[in-house]
Amino acid sequence: MTDKINIEVAYALPQEQTLLKKTLPAGTTLMEGILASGFLDKHPGLDLSMHKLGIFGKLAKPDTVLRDKDRIEIYRPLIADPKEVRRKRAEEGKAMKKGGGDA
């Protein structure tokens, strides 16, 4: 087993995507990986406590120990709640009587 791991840190804004690659010591945690990657140098105003974190699309805690070739993902908060958007769309459909008119 090697004492080094290779990771990536990914973050996407509507107009810009960031993907940083880094080699770190084995046993590094998710939060340590973000800090060591230089990510906060590229996005200095970002408050990580306001964002969910994950590894390859699955939510993970900051103290999760990374494995070789893991991709850390930093998720932006949702602008709108998808459930609320669907509920409003369904209400609008009922008001317009979509698909249920007289024949």
* Confidence label for 45 from pLDDT (cuts 50, 70 and 90): confident
Q: Can you give the pLDDT at residue 100?
A: 52
User: Rounded to whole angstroms, how far apart are CA atoms 74 and 11?
Assistant: 5
Of 24, 21, 5, 9, whose CA–CA distance to 71 is shortest?
Answer: 9
Look up residue 17 and give its two tokens.
Answer: 């995507």
Q: Can you give the pLDDT at residue 5?
A: 96
- Is the pLDDT higher at 14 or at 22? 22
pTM: 0.73
User: Rounded to whole angstroms, how far apart are CA atoms 100 and 93?
Assistant: 10
Tell the CATH topology of 4-96: Ubiquitin-like (UB roll) (3.10.20)
Q: Where are the domains of the chain?
A: 4-96
